[in-house]
Each structure stands twice: as structure tokens, then as C-alpha cells.
Amino acid sequence: MSVYDRLFPPRKYCLPSGETVEEKRSRMPLILLVIVLITALSVHITGFNFGVLLENGSRFFDILKAMVPPNTGYLSKIWQPLLDTIKMSLLGSFVGAVLAIPFAVLAASNIVTNRALVFLVRLFLSLVRTLPTLVCALIATYIFGLGTMAGTCAIAVFTFAYVGKQLFEIIETVDMGPFEAMEALGATRLQAFVTAVFPQVLPTYLSVSLFCLEGNVRYASILGYVGAGGLGLIMNEKIGWREYDSLGMILVVLFVTVVVIEWVSHAIRKRLT
Amino acid sequence: MNETIRQAYQSAPKRWAYQLLLALLLAGILAWSSTTIELGSTGENGWKVAGNILAGIFHPDSKLLLTFGTNGVPYLLLETFCIAFLGTVVGAVISLPLSFLSATNLVPRPVAVIGRGLIAAVRTIPAFVYGLMFIRVTGPGPFAGLLTMSLCSIGMVSKMYIESIEDLDKRILESLDAAGCTTFQKIRYGILPQLMPDFTSTIIYRFDMNLRDATVLGLVGAGGIGAPLIFAMSAYRWNEVGAILLGLIVLVLIIETISARIRTKLARG
């Protein structure tokens, strides 16, 4: 019996059959209390103030208003960075997703029986995942110099961590029957994995990778802010010069691109599952 | 391997033409995008920097790491945590009406399409642009950061909300109807129990992500741990970078473990 149950004893019911059953008190008040406390702390630390929001709220739209109408004349200069962004996300996603496969297999506890190895690989995946993409891109710009290479690298690292985690969770939920049958027939573990587990996880793996690609196009446009190439580069430039109408045009193009890519990827993912 | 197995393999459907086409397509796309690889500017300097970063992470600036004033890592982490927490809460609340208005099983199709378009538009604008917009409202600081976080959360959170709303089991509502329940009772006993676990799980997951993404806010001066991190990096003070990164990694790992635990509990009911 936990402390909570001792403080608030469970309610007892007498059933018609003479048996008594206990219903534990709801944990809701405790959870609510914790949430309210954290909220109060957060309001205090971040200086959340509704008055300021009501008073100055309209200024939020200053930049938005300046973006309309978008500067269509700038369109011709957007294509190159846009293509860079798409290329960065395509290549980065591909490299990351492929690299994730061996690590995910090693992290799946139903394939690898060595507990220590599974734990180490999982710890590695977690550590890579905690590294913010932006920091990754910054480090990459120091190593590879300013440009698309740094962005590709950052996206590959992010995709690797994300797909790696998803993939090992998928591998752990597969039906192990075929795998055991293959092993019983004398196949090696690798053969059994390729023929019995791989076909089961392939559609979900592709689907996860495509989902990641969708998000990466958006991410790739931020990375330029630290000099890692792509749309972010010109966005940063236009913000610096306060040419918000050109910024508006960039955002419109980005919006259309993201919607098209999401639509294509969604169609493929629907066919996969 | 057994002869029967070999035969079974050979009778598998052969779709090599389709597969070859797919492989060619993929190879084409990769070849096209491989132009982003430029190793020309990679100096030896780069690898030295990488080495320094690693060295910095293993020898963090312990003074920065253990100062409890407003400049130390613990306070910065607390601030980041608070920005992410409140940002997620505000974002989750704003997403509620948006997602109910965009669920195809509740509203007519045109309304749902407009709602989805709006959500997609909100998602397109990158975080740092929002940050700049909010700094005009609140001035630089964590308040701007939390507002940015909340707007950035809307996209993903409402997308997931919509999915769970569209998965609602309507038969439960029908049987409650048949039992003579009022609208309020139907919402309380028919809809809320179905949605709450999914919604909570989404919110916790997003909180996890926000904590990680909060570094972006530092770029435009919207509070959190991002700004000191980026300053330290551009000044090549790798020990400080190491201290900040170490703090961030520990915080994210702790939160991730807790959130994973809560979410598995929610999923199992």
C-alpha cells in the first residue's frame, strides 16, 4: 500500500453477494496540485504577464503585416536555396535512416541477447538524441565550414537518432515465430533476421523515415540561421535588412514545398501500411 | 538450408522490374542531392575544433556548472524547463479548439480543410521568426520564448489531437444515447475517457521535444539556455560549452525517462 492510499483510504463498497471491494481514491488531485505548482513556478520565472500581452499583442502582427504582399520579384533568387534545402533534407534523411539500421538491430533486445550491448547502444542513441539539432549544425559548421555539408550532417545525425529509436521499438514488437522457425531449420541468426524479421519491419521503417523527412524539410530551413546553408541563410539575411516582404515570399515558397512533400509522403505512407 | 525452404523462396513473386525502377529513382534522387557534399572547405582546423568540443564536454567548466546564481547552469536549465513547460501548456490549450474544428468526423469538409490549412501555415513559420515577432510584444527574455514555444507546439500537437479525435469510437456514444444520457454525460463518460490518454501522451511527448528545441530561442534572445550556449560556442570557450551541454543532456535524459514511463502507463491504461 502506497503512502497516498494510507493518507486517503480507499472507498469500500459492499456488493450484493456480500463481498467488499475497494476503489482506490483518484490520483487526480495530486497530479493537479503538482501541475499547478510547476505552472506557478514557470509563470514566476518566465515573467508571464497577460497585461503585457493584451497591451502590446497587436505588435505581434507588425512583421506579419510587413510580409504582405510578398515580394514576388524576389522569387527568382529563392529557387537555389530552396533546392539546397530539399537536397540537404533528402540526403541527410537517407544517410541517417540507413545508418540507423545496424544500431537499431543491436538495440533490439529480442534479437541481441547480450544485455550489456543492448544497454550501451541504447544509451548511445539517447545521448545522440539529446543533442539539439541546432548545436549539431553549429558544430558541423566548425568542422566542414559554412555551407550545405554542415546542414546535411546535422540532419543526418537527427534522423539517425530518431529513426534508430523508433526502429528498435518496432523490431521489438515483431512476431518472433518465423524467426524461431528459421533458426530451428538451421538458418544463422543473420539469415533468420533478414528473411523473417526484416520483411515485417520494412513498411513501418520506410514510413517512419518518410515521416522524418517531412519534418526535416522544416528543420533544414532553420539550420541556415547558423550558416548551414539553405533557406535559413536568406531568411536570416532578409530579417537583418528588414526586407519583410521578401521574407514573406520565402515563407510562402516554403509553405508550398512543405505541403507538397507532406502530401507525396502521406500518399506513399498510406500505400505502405 | 532445407530444400523445401529454397523452393518456397523461388516461388516468391518476382517484381524485379518494379524494384529496379524504384532503386533507379532513389539512386537518381541521391545523385542529385549529393551536390550538397562539399569537402573543399574542411580544414584540419575543423577536426581540431571537433576534438576541442569533445575535450570540453569531458572537462566541463565546473564553476559554471555548480553556480546557483542566475548565470549558472542550474538556473538556466530551470528557466529552459519553465519555458518549455508553460509553452507546451499554452500550446496544448490553443490546439484544442483548432483540432476539434479540423476533425473530419465532427465538422463539414470545407471547414476541416480550412482548419488544416491554418495549422499547416502556423507550422511553416520557423521558430526564430516567431521569436522575433514576440520580442516586439514582450521585449527580449523568457516570456517571448514561452510564447514562441507555444505557437511552435500547435502544429504537431493539433495534428496528433486530430488523429485521436478521428479515431473516436462512436458506438460508445450511441449506447450512452440509448441509455438516456444527457449531452454533458456523454462528453464526460463517452468522449473524455477516450481522448484523455492520447491527449496527455501527446502533450508529454511535445514537452520532451520542446525542451530539446528550446536552444533555438537563444538565437534571437528569447531566453533559455540557447543564448549562453551559442555565445560560448562562437567565442570558442569549449569548457563552458561542455558544461552547458552536459547539463542539458542530463536534464533531457531525466525528463525523457519520466515521460516514457508515464506514456507507457497511459498506453496500457
- Please give chain A's pLDDT, 273 residues, in tens: 577 777 888 888 888 888 888 887 788 888 899 999 999 999 988 888 888 888 887 888 888 888 888 888 888 888 988 998 899 899 999 999 999 999 999 998 888 888 999 999 999 998 888 888 888 888 888 888 888 888 899 999 999 999 999 999 899 888 889 889 888 988 888 888 888 888 889 999 999 999 899 888 888 888 888 888 788 888 888 888 888 889 899 999 999 998 899 889 888 888 887
Report the pLDDT value the prediction gives residue B66, as an integer from 0 to 100: 75
Report the pLDDT value the prediction gives residue A38, as an integer from 0 to 100: 92
Determine whether B208 is exposed, middle or buried from the number of CB atoms within 10 Å of its CB (0-12, 13-18, 19+): buried
pLDDT at B146 over 70: yes
In the numeric block, which cell numbers belong to residue A32? 493537479
Nearest to A159 by CA among A205, A93, A110: A93
Residue of B29, B39, B126 lying closest to A149 (CB–CB): B39
- As a whole-number percent, the residues of chain B with pLDDT over 90 amount to 19
Report the pLDDT value the prediction gives residue A102, as an integer from 0 to 100: 93
Q: Which residues contact residue B211 at a Cβ distance below 8 angstroms, ignoring those fewer than 6 apart?
A: B80, B81, B84, B251, B252, B255
pLDDT tens track for A108-133 = 888 888 899 999 999 999 888 888 88
Contact B124 A251 (CB under 8 A): yes
Cβ-Cβ contacts under 8 Å, B252 against chain A = 130
Cβ-Cβ contacts under 8 Å, B113 against chain A = none
Determine whether B237 is exposed, middle or buried from the number of CB atoms within 10 Å of its CB (0-12, 13-18, 19+): middle
Q: Average pLDDT in the B147-176 region?
A: 89
Q: Average pLDDT in the B1-5 region?
A: 71
Report the pLDDT value the prediction gives residue A56, as an integer from 0 to 100: 82
Residue A206, Cβ neighbours under 10 Å: how many? Answer: 15
Contact A218 B213 (CB under 8 A): no
Q: Average pLDDT in the B84-108 region?
A: 90
pLDDT at B1 over 60: no
Q: Which residues contact residue A86 at a Cβ distance below 8 angstroms, ignoring those fewer than 6 apart?
A: A217, A220, A257, A261, B33
Residue B118, Cβ neighbours under 10 Å: how many? Answer: 15
Full set of structural domains in chain B with CATH: 60-169+203-268 (1.10.3720.10)
More confidently predicted of B62 and B118: B118
* Angle, vertex CA B32, rays to CA B27 and CA B37, nearest 5: 105
- Say how far apart CA B230 and CA A93 lie, in whole Å: 25
pLDDT tens track for B44-91 = 677 777 788 778 877 887 777 777 777 788 888 999 999 999 999 999
Phi-psi region of A214 (alpha: psi -120 to 50; beta: other; left: phi over 0): alpha
Q: For residue A120, which amino acid is it?
A: L
Contact A46 B42 (CB under 8 A): no
Contact B29 A152 (CB under 8 A): no
pLDDT at B105 over 70: yes
Q: For residue B218, which amino acid is it?
A: G
pLDDT tens track for B159-172 = 889 989 988 888 88
Domain boundaries, chain A: 3-48, 69-272
Q: Average pLDDT in the B250-258 region?
A: 90
Cβ-Cβ contacts under 8 Å, A59 against chain B = 136-137
DSSP annotation string for A210-235: HHHHHHHHHHHHHHGGGT-SSHHHHH
Contact A251 B129 (CB under 8 A): yes
Nearest to A206 by CA among A93, A91, A83: A93
Of the pLDDT bands very low, low, confident and very high (cuts 50, 70, 90), residue B157 is: very high
Output the CA torsion sign for A15, A21, A22, A28.
Answer: negative
pLDDT tens track for B119-142 = 888 888 888 888 888 888 888 888
Average pLDDT, chain B: 85
How near does any CA of chain B get to the CA of A142, in Å? 6
Contact B124 A254 (CB under 8 A): yes
What is residue B233's DSSP assignment? H
Task: Choose, out of B35, B36, B159, the residue to mutate when testing the contact with A (most A CBs < 10 Å).
Answer: B36
Burial B16-33 (b: 16+ CB within 10 A, else e): eeeeeeeeeeeeeeeeeb
Residue of A39, A64, A134 lying closest to B86 (CB–CB): A39
- Say how far apart CA B170 and CA A99 lie, in whole Å: 43
Q: For residue A94, which amino acid is it?
A: F
Report the pLDDT value the prediction gives residue B129, as an integer from 0 to 100: 86
Three-state DSSP state, B42: coil
- What pTM value is reported for the model? 0.85
* Angle, vertex CA B159, rays to CA A108 and CA B152, nearest 5: 95
How far separated are the first and last CA of chain A, in Å rounded?
Answer: 44
Residue of B81, B219, B249 lying closest to A225 (CB–CB): B219
Decide yes or no: CATH 1.10.3720.10 for domain A69-272.
yes
pLDDT at B5 over 80: no
User: Hey, which residues does A20 pair with through a beta bridge?
Assistant: A14
In the numeric block, which cell numbers belong to residue B129? 521568426
- Say how far apart CA B111 and CA B102 lie, in whole Å: 7
What is residue B188's DSSP assignment? I
Contact A56 B38 (CB under 8 A): no
Residue of A127, A148, A255 lying closest to B124 (CB–CB): A255
Q: Average pLDDT in the B247-263 region?
A: 89
Report the pLDDT value the prediction gives residue B269, as an integer from 0 to 100: 63
Secondary structure of B169-187 in the HEC alphabet? CHHHHHHHHHCCCCHHHHH
Residue A56, Cβ neighbours under 10 Å: how many? Answer: 14
